[in-house]
Structure 1
Amino acid sequence: MSNWVKLCSLQEAPAPGKVAEAEVEGVAVCLANVGGELSALDNWCPHRRGPLGQGWIERDCVVCPWHSWTFHVKTGEAEFPANERVETFPLRVEGEDVMIDIE
C-alpha cells in the first residue's frame, strides 16, 4: 500500500551535489540530489544517528557528517562500513511538488 505525500516543492529541494533534511508525517528524510536526480533516504545514520541530511555527496553516495559512513542514494547500502544500510523511500516529482512514499 502506498502513502504518497508531499515532501517539499522543487524550489525547496537541494541543488545538484547537495543534500538537505526534511520531515514529513514524523519521518526524518535525507533528500539528496545527484546529478539533478533526487533520492530520499532515512536521515539517521545507523552508527550514532548522525544526520545524513547535514552531510555531503561523494559520487552517488551521501556521507554522514559525523564519522564519514557512506550510503548509496538509490539502495541505501553502505560503501563503508560493509553490511550496513539505511532505508530508502520511493520519490517522484508531480508538477512542482516532490512526492515521497513513506510506507
Structure 2
Amino acid sequence: MWTPVAKLGEFQNGRLVVKRPEHRKPILLLYTGEEVFALEDVCTHDDGPLHEGEVEDGAIVCPRHGARFDLRTGRQTLPAPRPVKVFPARLEGDTVLLDL
C-alpha cells in the first residue's frame, strides 16, 4: 500500500529523514531531481546516520567508516555486515509515497 510520507518542499539539499511509527528505524529519503530513493537511515556497521554521508555512483557512503549502500538494493560494502532495508518510492506531483 502506497503511503504519503513527505512533500518535496520539505527536502534540504535533496535529503529528508522521516520517522514512521510502524518502523523503529528512521527512513532516509533522497531526491536526485529525477528519482526518489528510500532506505533505512542507519548503517549496519555501527548505527551511524547515513543521511550525513555523501552520495556517489548510486550509493550512499557512511560518514563514519566508509561503508557504501546501494540506493536501489541496499547492498553494502565492508565494514557493514549486512544491507539496509530499502522501500519502493515514487513521486505523485510533489508528494513522496512509499510502499511500506
Normalising by the residue count of structure 1, what TM-score does the alignment of the two structures yield? 0.79
- Measured after TM superposition, the shift of residue 78 of structure 1 is 0.9
Question: Which residue does the alignment assign to 1:29?
Answer: 27
Instruction: Work out the number of aligned pairs and report it.
Output: 98
Q: Which amino acid aligns with 1:32?
A: L
Structure 1 portions without partners, runs of 5+: none
Instruction: Give the alignment of 1:40-55 within 5 angstroms.
Output: 40-55=38-53
Question: Larger strand proportion, structure 1 or 2?
Answer: 1
Identity across matched positions, percent: 33
What 5-or-longer segments of structure 2 have no aligned partner? none
Q: 1:32 to 1:94 in 2, by over 3 A?
A: same
CA-based RMSD: 2.1
Cα separation, 1, equivalents of 2:51 and 2:35? 16
* Contact persistence 1:71–1:77 (CA under 8 A): yes
Q: Write out the 4+ residue segments of structure 1 that deviate beyond 4 Å after TM superposition.
A: none
Match of 1:76 in 2: 74
TM-score, structure 2 normalization: 0.81
Q: Deviations over 1:51-76 (max 9, x none)?
A: 11222201100111221111000000
Which residue identity does 2:29 align to in structure 1?
Answer: L
Distance 1:51 1:92 in 2: 23
Q: Which residue of 1 aligns with 2:95?
A: 97
